[in-house]
Every structure is written in C-alpha cells, then in structure tokens.
Chains A and B, each alone.
Chain A
C-alpha cells in the first residue's frame, strides 16, 4: 500500500479537467457518473487504510516548509471518510438539481433578453444543450477540486500544507456560489470569500508565528519541541479565531446565513456537511494536540462559546421562514454542539464531539437533499407556502424524518450516540472539577437539545403535514438521483446509531491517548 492517500487526494484534482471535458462532450449523465465513479474509488482508497488503524505517507517537499505528509489516524479517519462519502453521494444529487438550475438560469436570461428586446438572435434548443453541457462540466470540475481541498486539510501533517488546502477549498466554493447561486449571488460570493479569507489569514498569522519560532512547520516537530511561551498565547488566539470563523461560531457567523440563502443546494449540503467540520477538525489537530496547555486554559471558554452558539443558532432557526436560512441557523447551532464538546476536556466528550460531526453531516446532508428535492418539485423556499407534502413525497418525507431524528439526537440514529457521549463527557468534567459553571453549561446544553427538537419538528410539520396548498396538488416524488442517496445516508445513520463501534473503535482509543487517561 503506497501512494494510496496521495491518489485519493490528487486524483480528483488531476482528473477534474476530464470531468469538464466529458460534461461538455457527452452531457450531464456521463459527467455525473464519471465524477461519481472517481470519488467512489477515492473513498474506497481512504476507507481501506483506515480499517487497519493508523496509516501515514510521507513525501519530500520544500526545504522551507518541511515534508508533505498524509496522515490517517483515529482522529482524521472519521472526518476523511465522512467527507468523501458525503461528496460522493452529493455527486448524484447534484445532477437533477444542477440541470434544473442551469436550465432555469438560461431561460431567465433569454426571457430577459426578450423583455429588453435588444437582441434578435434566434436561440435554438441546441444552444441550451450546449450551454448545459458546458456548465455541468465546469460544475463537476469545481466539485472535485473542493472535495480534494477538504480531504487535504484533514490529512495534512504540516501547518503550511493545512493552510494551502484550507484556502484551496474556498475557491471552487466561491465560483459555484457566484455562478449558480440565487439572488444577489455575486455580492454574497464576495462576502463569503471576504469572511473566510480573513479567517484564513488570521489562521496563517498563527501558523507563521508558530512555525518561525519553532523552526519547523511539521506537526510532529512542533509537538516534539514545544511552542515557545511568548508566541503561544497569540498563536492560540489567532488559530481559534480563524477556525471559529470557518465554523461560523456566534458573532463570527454572519457570513453563513447569507451564503446558505444564496447558494445552490448541493453546495449548501457540501458546505454544511463537510466544510464547516473542517473547522472543528482544526480545533482537535491544532489546538488540542499542538498546544494542550493552552487548550486546558481555554477549554471552559470554548465550552461556553459553543453553548451560546448552539442556543443562539437554535433560537434563530425557530423564526425563519426561508427553509434554507432555517438550516443555515441550524448548522450554526450544530457547530455550537461540536464546539461545546471540544470544550469538555474528557475522553467521551471529545469523542462525542467528533461523532457529532459524523452525525451532523449525515443528518444535515439528508435534510439539505430534502430541501433540494422540495425546491425542485415545489419551486418555493418559503415554509408558509408548503404543507401536506408527506402524501405526495413519501420517500423524501421518511428520509427527512430520519435526518431530523439524527439532528435531534433521538435513538436509534447516530445523533443519539454523539449526543449522549458528548453530554456525558461534559458532566464528567463538571463533577471531576467540581465546577458549578460546567454543571450549568451541561444543563443548558441539554435545554438546547429541546430547542433543536422544537425548530426541527416545527419545520417538518410545516413542510410535510397539514393541508396541502392547492397549487401543489400535482407535486411528484423526487427522482432516484435524490431519493437514492438520501436512503443510503439515512440507513447509515441508523446503523451507526445502533452499532457506534464503527467509528468509536477508532475515535475513543485516540481520544484516550490525547487526553491522557
């Protein structure tokens, strides 16, 4: 087994022009299945070494930055596996959604031209096809690069490597948003780039201060030498702020609702299910592992910050009418859960927090697919205009319900396994430290789960139950490209919920080593 991870990482990048070419030449179906096949192969490449425990590859890089390593340990493998699995299934979901989106945009443009009346050119049906093929090819090329960027961040063993991939995933996201987004997409795309880039630059500041003072950017070296105390505080704050922007923690979350409102649904799903989680991963790898001392100082603050984020996001989600904004705030809230778990300083708390990422990805991607399916079928995003769809879209309704249960943390979905371990960890630390503040955050955290339940059940009620509006009488079930992936993820969530050892067997021993129990 050599070059396995290297392949998994760079094949999507190298073959992205092929995806574009295939799309342009043979249309959406071929491009979809090519991209799907490629990512599925890469997913297998990631899963295989993960089965046999820790695995790493090292390659020579520049003198200045250190070596180019790829590491798949108990921390990285759940993230890596979920990110690629999510990316793979979203390829299928993208097809009907993007075809519809590109067609609509094309038609809008034509009708605009007609309205203006300036152009007399005859638009033939072939030109739509050409346009579609061209755009879908570009879409899949960007998609592959984004997937690769996310995986690279997870596998990196070096600060500069981390940073490069961290920035790399923003570029395709920016273009996808700017090209296929909804109202005021260009403005929002800039907003997105601005925020995440500022976050990344702050992160880089932290990285440089560490790397230059230690003399190496490799994680291993930094860990071995230790970070000199005079840069420690600055570096920790810079890294935490940088990652918090990525995770959209309270106060620095302002980019997220706008971006989610405007971006095409597959990008929402990819971003919520995978990209936000990269921020969470950064906390584990960069804060807890590289600066354990600082972590112990700041853990309580992170715990509280997470708590505020989860409650605030949940409360905001309660009052949304745009279904996508509802899920935007829900994502913020769920990232709050993860941050809450990161602040627990206990084996099960940290494990639960990582499991929360897994579970949130599964649940939220299912729900975003539901949103996509509804937008495709119903052509509205306003919750007040929906209702009674359960009878019309039964498969979507059932899968969405499983997704909802996953987010609410109801057994037998993976959400419960994540939540109970995480909250238990919080309580354990509270008891050990005899801290009333931690006891209170634990209690309020449980209250937040009730808020989560309220906004999700209310959303489900407004979408699927009640009276069917007359104009939706002819709604049909979404097609297999949408329902198939949803069912796979829903099944996966239940399997993990009943048998969590699939991931716990890797996560828990790792966290034990990390916290030093």
Chain B
C-alpha cells in the first residue's frame, strides 16, 4: 500500500476519498432545508456539491494513475468485527471521476431541464442521493458497504423513474392501447418505478446470497482481505460452492445493469425525467453492474494461480453480455420512442462491456479484455450522456416522445443537431475519430485474440450487433432531424410554438460531452494504451495477474505506419465494415429516404414477422408478466378465497357454531316450567334406580 507523500500526517487523501461519496449525501440532507429559503437554490446546491465531489475525485487521479492506492478503514459493526472503509485504487478512482464529472454536467443540465417543476426539492434530493450511492459503490472496500450504495441506487431510481407520480398520460411510455400477448404495453411512471425496483431486487437477492456464501467461508467482506488470503476459495471450490457464489454475485450485476433476463425494467425506466435517464444510463445504476464485475473479475481470475478454474463463471458473463447486446440492439431498430431507442442501445452496449470482461477471464491476456471493457464504459458514459441530454432537449421542445412527431428539426436546432451527430457517431463507432470506435475495436480485438472456443460465435454476435447499432443510430438521427416536419410539429407551429434551440444551461453540458467524444476519439489509441499500461501495473501489483506486455506490439503487424500499432487487423476490418453497412442502410432508409421503410417491412411476410417480433420485445416482457405477475396473483386470489376464507376460517366458525349450538340446546332445557323439571327429575330417578337394580 503506497502512501502519498503529502498524505503523511494529515491523511488528506483518505479524507478526500471519503468526501467523494459523503458530499453528495450531505447535499441531499441540506436540500430540504435550503428549499425553505428558495426552491430554485436547491438545484445550485446539488450542482455545487456535485462539483465539490468531482474535484475531490480529480485530486486523487494523479496518484491513481501512478498506481497508488488509498485504503482507509474505520470501525463499524464492532460486535461482528466488520469495518467500513474506502478503497481508492486506480479502478475506483478512474470510475469515480467518470461518474462524478458526467453527473456534474447532468446536474447542470437538470437545472435547465427541470425549470418550473413544482417538486424541485424532491428531484434534487434524489439526484444527489443517487450520485452519493453510486460513489459509495465505487469507493467501498467491502461487499456490505457496497450493498448500501447498491440498494441506494435502486431506491433512487425507484423514486426518480416514478418522479411524476401523478401518472399523467404524457408521462407514460409505450403506445396506448397496444397489446402484447393480451397484456398492455403501456406503463405509468409509478408502475415503472416499482418494476425497476423489484426487478433489480431479484438481482440484489442473488447478490446477497453470493456475498453470504463468501462471507461464510472467508469471514470477511473486504475486497483486499479476500485477495490477501485465498484459503476461502480453496475451501469453497472443494465444496463446489465457488462458481455458484460467483455467479450469484454476477446476478446482482445482471439486475442492476439490465442484462438478460432481467433487462426489461430498463425500457420502462424511461418514464423518468430525461436528466434521470441520462444519469441512470451514463453515470450511475447500469454502470454499477459493470463496475461490480470489474471489481470481482480480477479477484476470481487471480485464483487461477492457485489452481482454481473459473472458466464457467467467465463464460456465463460473456454469454449473458452477448445475448443482451444482440437482444436489445434488435429491438432498438424498430421502436418509435426516441428515449426507448437510447435505452435499448444502453443495454446493448453494456452487453459489450460484459462480453469484454467475460472474454478477458477466458484468455491468457486478461488485461486486454479488461481494458477494452473499461474503456468502452468510459466512452459510452460520454456519448450516451450526451445523446440522452440532447434527446431530452428535443422532447422538451417538441413535447412528444415519439420520433414520428419530430422530423426535419436540423434547421431549427443546429447545435443539438451537430452534437447529436458527434455523440451518435461515437455510438455507431465511426472510424478513427470517435472514442466509441476505439473502445469497440478493442473489444473486438480482445474477443478475437482470446483464443477461447467460444471466440468465434461471440465475435460474430459482436459484429452483427455493431451493424445494427450503426443502423439504429442513423435511423434515430434521420427520423428526428431529416425529412419533412411531422404533423405534430406543424400543429405546434400553427399554435404559435416555434421550434427553437435549447437554452444554454442545457446545450452546454451535452455539447461538452459530444466534443469530448471526438476529442478523446482522435487520440483514442493513445488513451487506450495509457489505460492498458495502468491496468497492467494495477493487476500485476494488486492481484498478481501477470500480463505479457511485449506480445501486443510484436504479434500484430503494424499497418498504416505506426498509427494503428497494436490493433488487430481482423477486428479492425470487422468494425470498419460493420459501421459502413449499418450506416449505409440507415442512410438509404432514413436520411436519403430512397426507400420507404414501412413499405419495405410490409412487402414481405418474413420482414413483417420479424419486425413484429422485435417490436413485441421478443415477447420476453409479456412472458415475464404472465409468469411472475398475472399468474401468481391469480393463484393468490384463489388461495385467499378458497383456502384462507373457507378452509381456515373453519377454525373460527366451527368452535363458534358449536358453542352457540351447545348454548341453544342448554337454553332449550331451561324451560322455566316446573312440570317439565319434575318430569325430567322423575325420569332421572327412575334411571338411577334401574341402574342400581342391575
């Protein structure tokens, strides 16, 4: 554990690390008080604290880039010997910077986006809480504390997705009246919030089980303690519990990152204000799952050194990622709501990250895939936040979530148009100038070079997904900005609402990120090498994972001079052609408008069927509702009616009736007529005499 020179004595480094996650919580606590003075000020308090947290993260960056780590612990649940702590290693510090700065920009954007909303206090309280929880996940040094942040982001997403709790029609998602398998595909904000919370909770429960399994053997939740002494892993492997535990932990990530089969909450999460969607998709929540996997993967991979094979675990990660990437990308092609398209693309891109880390564990050169996945996380955070905020501006101004209600906006919203192209190119992976290209290419390279039996199918899925990604991004931009103005826009103009550019507090944040996507993209390869080198060091010193640094440069032939040094040529070709095919197809249908996509789909039963299949979300959502909501409620009602209220109610009714009946019989004997008493008395004497005689 290296201690920085300027930390000696003061422990300033540790204090700053604590500050990163505590500051947003402080903001959340004081926001209700500030609201008493001025409601508008709540936004600026949130922004100020987010900035403070981000600066505090930034000051840790130089040390982290030098592979120093800060690990500080305090006593917490002393009766069980559990400590709380912060662990600011390179992974955590880079992640926390990404989270902090992007959140800061989103907070600035929110002050413009939410202007005039009645519930600003509640909004900024939860935004700050969200950020604090995410930073808590990133900086925790143990599972239990991480879980606090983990549930914190779940709670915040519940509150923010359902932010417009009055469930007005305009805040719903889906098309009213559309049914899939007899169930409505149209959801209210509060329903969606609940869905998000419960579905991610299913993952959380699995994660808890995994945590407990490890704690039962290791007696600690601490990440560093688990690395230092791996006897727990040997014991668990002997009982065949290690892989299940690891997979259960990954279950938590599946839930949070909306991976197959718990992906369906992410689409309905679009009912929240767009700033929230940006936060969920770029900086917090879904990235938490990837971060968890990035935290755990080296820990489990390093077990190979003591002879424990974790291949199954990594295969599951890779395949879950691959399935999700394809599943969600296909649906992104057909949906008419702009935010939903972006949501599908998030899930799909997260799938890429999972695939990369999964493949890392299956290859000898762990660091390649690991770097690729993490690099993609960073570049995705930038362009996706930008895209969401830009989409939010458009929604804000057009007043509809459907892309069919937009069209031809490029003349009116020039800045947004330009920024959306820049960020959109990042998502498509436009060659050589965007971060998205380099990070996706790194993933392709890592998959291709892994040498695993699954490498080829995974590679194929990754490339197909890239084609689809380029296509749906072009489609989105085409539908929104090109073509003629839609009827909706014309009506708006008739009413006197002119389509105009968003306000500065809104376009500046997404402008910055869009520009960054290109700026970092231009020097993308250098940037990647930087992270790669850092991770080689980090994985080597912390986990003892050795990387063969020399091979990267020597094995692949330098093409195009030295510029593309270290890039796998096959991966490069694949990603170039994927971009080209997707973009050209998108251009034909939606920008050049040489062919009508609706006619095209209806021209052929096969295309029609597949379009419908995608639009109905592969029927996955409907099946989940049937299996886990409709059917259980039906059974519960039956149980209540026939078992609880009939069979078990017998316990109440039978004694009651028996006693009442008994009382009635007794009552009947008390006639109050002396003749009858004498009569019975006489009969009794006769009987006694009779008995005596016998």
Contacts and interface: CB of A to CB of B under 8 A. Distances in A.
A252 B213 CA distance: 34
Contacts of B337: none
Given A453-B197, A457-B198, A500-B77, A411 B637 contact: no
Contact of A316 (B155, B213, B639): B639
Contacts of B217: 431
B329 to A, nearest CB: 29
A252 B689 CA distance: 48
B220 interface: no
Interface residues of A, number: 51
B636 A318 contact: yes
Given A449-B205, A465-B190, A504-B80, A390 B144 contact: no
Contact of A391 (B151, B162, B166): B166
Given A254-B648, A450-B198, A500-B77, A427 B212 contact: yes
B123 to A, nearest CB: 14
A57 to B, nearest CB: 27
B493 interface: no
A390 B152 CA distance: 21
B655 A420 contact: no
A319 B166 contact: no
Contacts of B335: none
B205 A420 contact: no
A82 interface: no
Given A319-B636, A449-B205, A412 B80 contact: no
Contacts of A410: 151, 154-155
Contacts of B633: 318-319
A226 interface: no
B213 A453 contact: no
B624 to A, nearest CB: 13
A348 B639 CA distance: 34
A390 B189 CA distance: 14
Given A391-B166, A450-B201, A411 B191 contact: no
Contacts of A507: 79
B79 A420 contact: no
Interface string A423-453: 1100110010000000000110011011001
Interface residues of B, number: 48
A465 B167 contact: yes
A293 interface: no
Contacts of A464: 165
Contacts of B176: none
B124 interface: no
Contacts, number: 115
Contacts of A499: 76
Given A420-B144, A431-B216, A504 B79 contact: yes
A411 B148 contact: yes
B191 A191 contact: no
Given A251-B648, A254-B648, A465 B201 contact: no
A388 interface: yes
A191 B652 CA distance: 7
Contact of A428 (B162, B165, B216): B216
Nearest to A455: B636
B194 to A, nearest CB: 5
B198 A454 contact: yes
B487 to A, nearest CB: 29
Given A427-B216, A465-B165, A466-B188, A505 B148 contact: no
Nearest to A443: B209
B190 A466 contact: yes
A447 B167 CA distance: 29
A383 interface: no
A448 to B, nearest CB: 10
Given A412-B148, A443-B209, A254 B652 contact: yes
B225 interface: no
A492 interface: no
Contacts of B554: none
A255 B78 CA distance: 41
B640 interface: yes
Tell me the interface secondary structure of chain A in the complex.
helix
B41 interface: no
Contacts of B165: 388, 390-391, 464-466
Interface string A183-222: 0000000010010000000000000000000000000000
A447 B205 contact: yes
Contacts of B212: 420, 423-424, 427-428
Contacts of B197: 453, 457
A449 B239 CA distance: 27
Given A454-B198, A461-B194, A411 B147 contact: yes
A81 interface: no
A266 to B, nearest CB: 24
Contact of B198 (A411, A420, A453): A453
Interface in B98-129: none
A315 interface: yes
A141 interface: no
Given A318-B636, A453-B198, A427 B209 contact: yes
A424 B215 contact: yes
A83 to B, nearest CB: 22
Interface in B128-164: 144, 147-148, 151-152, 154-155, 158, 162
Interface in A263-310: none
Contacts of A255: 652
B588 interface: no
Contacts of B615: none
A465 B148 contact: no
A215 B78 CA distance: 42
Contacts of B191: 461
Interface in B61-93: 76-80
A468 interface: yes
A131 B269 CA distance: 54
Contact of A411 (B152, B209, B640): B152
B690 interface: no
B651 interface: yes
B628 to A, nearest CB: 9
Contacts of B213: 427, 431
A416 B205 CA distance: 12
A501 interface: yes
A464 B241 CA distance: 43
Contact of B77 (A251, A461, A501): A501
Interface in B193-252: 194, 197-198, 201-202, 205, 208-209, 212-213, 215-217, 239, 241
Contacts of A37: none
Given A420-B208, A464-B165, A466-B167, A501 B151 contact: no
Contacts of B649: 254
A286 B213 CA distance: 32
Given A465-B190, A467-B167, A508 B80 contact: yes
B644 interface: yes
Contacts of A501: 77-79
A417 to B, nearest CB: 8
A507 B632 CA distance: 38
Question: What 5 pairs across the A-B complex have the smallest Cβ distances?
Answer: A465-B190, A508-B79, A465-B165, A504-B79, A411-B148
22 contacts: A258-B652, A316-B639, A318-B632, A319-B636, A348-B80, A411-B151, A420-B144, A423-B208, A427-B213, A427-B216, A431-B216, A446-B209, A447-B205, A450-B201, A457-B197, A464-B165, A465-B162, A465-B165, A465-B167, A465-B190, A467-B166, A500-B77
Interface of B: 76-80, 144, 147-148, 151-152, 154-155, 158, 162, 165-167, 188, 190-191, 194, 197-198, 201-202, 205, 208-209, 212-213, 215-217, 239, 241, 632-633, 636-637, 639-640, 644, 648-649, 651-652, 655-656
Given A316-B640, A423-B208, 15 more contacts: A254-B648, A258-B652, A390-B165, A410-B154, A410-B155, A411-B152, A412-B152, A420-B208, A427-B212, A428-B216, A453-B198, A457-B197, A504-B77, A507-B79, A508-B80
